[in-house]
């Protein structure tokens, strides 16, 4: 896999980096992702109409268009409706990080990269994770099991879960890991509200995003020379049964949930997105990307657009 540096400049002479995803062996999400999804807005939440949601997104787009000139370009790979094997995505991230660190060593600017995707069923452990949080034999797991270099404890990835891997040069933003984690949480909190009117929140002392004390999004990252990788996972239409095989994130006092579970038994979401799970995923994907651009002050640009233009905006 090769990466091709653009000779052109992007936004105030910041270089954009492009790369190929030829090593991925993607699988389309299973047909079960096209089943009907009913949703119910909790009594403690306000139900948004489709007009309100469209208005919120339109307002964001108008605001974003006004300040693109001051934003960093972020190379964007959209695989949100593809099941990318975990090891392929993991290796791809590490290669991108190595490339950016090499650029820093040559005193070149290392730009930002983002990929959004889904994974086939897989369990992952963080660097210091303990196997005590597994409810199965690590030598005979029900799905693939990988120990990674990210922070955090064990978690599950699977179809219906949107995973974002930002590979950011925090020199462009803020060299503060605490700030970075809180900003990722803000991306999810904002996206859930814009998409569904869900009022999500943090819990002091814990990393992730919660709705009524149930975890809807997990976050685990690694930073090397201020280059980030790994990222966040939002349960949208995810089957939650595989979480019962682990103590998610090593926290036994709280359960996990999904957007579909929070909003079940109502016609509200169907009115917004057509009702099938694929449309729900697309809606959340759109709002996650909108929030990511806003919270990190970046402009997402696909590699094909980068290669065809000398200036990114």
Q: What is the pTM of this model?
A: 0.78
Task: Answer whether residue 24 is part of any domain.
Answer: no
Q: Where is pLDDT greater, at 54 or 229?
A: 229
- Among candidate residues 10, 73, 74, 249, the one labeled active-site is 249
Beta strand extents in 84-182 (DSSP E only): 112-118, 122-125, 144-147, 155-157, 161-167
Task: Answer whether residue 204 is part of any domain.
Answer: yes
Q: What is the pLDDT of residue 291?
A: 99
Percent of the chain with pLDDT over 70: 71
Structure confidence at residue 74 as a pLDDT band (50, 70, 90): very high
Please check the confidence at residue 47 and state whether its pLDDT lies above 60: no
Bridge partners (DSSP) of residue 18 are 4
Active-site annotation holds for 73: no
Token duo for residue 251: 């926290």
Please check the confidence at residue 131 and state whether its pLDDT lies above 60: yes
What tens digit of pLDDT does each residue of 220-259 get? 999 999 999 999 999 999 999 999 999 988 888 889 999 9
- Region 271-298: what's the mean pLDDT? 88
Angstrom distance (rounded) from CA 273 to CA 282: 9
Q: What is the pLDDT of residue 274?
A: 58
Q: Where is pLDDT greater, at 138 or 16?
A: 138
The CATH number assigned to the domain holding 88 equals: 3.30.930.10
Handedness of CA 156, 159, 161, 164 (dihedral sign): positive
Task: Answer whether residue 26 is part of any domain.
Answer: no
Beta strand pairing call for 214-224 and 255-256: parallel
Domain that holds residue 279: 3-17+34-307
Angstrom distance (rounded) from CA 84 to CA 204: 33
Angstrom distance (rounded) from CA 4 to CA 71: 22
Task: Answer whether residue 11 is part of any domain.
Answer: yes
- Region 179-199: what's the mean pLDDT? 97
Structure confidence at residue 48 as a pLDDT band (50, 70, 90): low
Q: Considering only CA atoms, which of 187, 193, 211 is closest in space to residue 201?
A: 211
Angstrom distance (rounded) from CA 236 to CA 255: 15
H-helix or E-strand spanning residue 103:
helix 86-105
What tens digit of pLDDT does each residue of 145-179 get? 999 999 999 999 999 999 999 999 999 999 999 99
Task: Answer whether residue 268 is part of any domain.
Answer: yes
| Total domains, the chain | 1
Task: Answer whether residue 28 is part of any domain.
Answer: no
Q: What is the DSSP letter of 269?
A: H
Task: Answer whether residue 136 is part of any domain.
Answer: yes
Token duo for residue 60: 């964001």
Angstrom distance (rounded) from CA 98 to CA 26: 23
Task: Answer whether residue 29 is part of any domain.
Answer: no
């Amino acid at each position: 896999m090769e990466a091709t540096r653009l000779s052109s400049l992007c936004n105030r002479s910041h270089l954009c980096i492009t790369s190929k995803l030829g090593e991925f062996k993607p699988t389309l999400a299973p047909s079960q992702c096209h089943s009907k999804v009913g949703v119910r807005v909790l009594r403690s939440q306000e139900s948004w109409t489709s007009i309100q949601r469209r208005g919120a997104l339109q307002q964001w787009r108008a605001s974003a268009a006004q300040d693109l000139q001051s934003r960093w370009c972020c190379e964007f790979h959209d695989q949100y409706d593809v099941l990318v094997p975990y090891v392929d995505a993991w290796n791809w991230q590490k290669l991108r990080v190595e490339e950016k660190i090499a650029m820093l060593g040559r005193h070149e600017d290392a730009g930002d990269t983002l990929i959004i995707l889904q994974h086939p069923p897989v369990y992952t452990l963080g660097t210091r994770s303990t196997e005590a949080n597994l409810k199965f034999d690590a030598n005979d797991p029900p799905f693939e099991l990988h120990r990674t270099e990210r922070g955090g404890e064990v978690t599950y990835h699977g179809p219906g879960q949107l995973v974002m891997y930002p590979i950011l040069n925090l020199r462009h933003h803020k060299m503060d890991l605490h700030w970075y984690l809180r900003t990722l949480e803000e991306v999810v909190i904002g996206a859930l509200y814009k998409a569904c009117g869900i009022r999500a929140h943090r819990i002091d002392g814990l990393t992730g995003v919660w709705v009524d004390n149930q975890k809807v999004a997990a976050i685990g990252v690694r930073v090397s020379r201020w280059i980030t990788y790994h990222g966040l996972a939002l349960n949208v239409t995810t089957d939650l049964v595989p979480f019962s095989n682990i103590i998610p994130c090593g926290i036994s006092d709280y359960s996990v949930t999904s957007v579909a579970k929070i909003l079940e038994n109502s016609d509200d979401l169907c009115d917004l997105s057509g009702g099938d799970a694929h449309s729900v995923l697309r809606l959340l994907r759109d709002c996650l990307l909108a929030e990511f651009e806003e919270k990190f002050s970046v402009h997402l640009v696909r590699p094909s657009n980068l290669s065809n233009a000398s200036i990114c905006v």
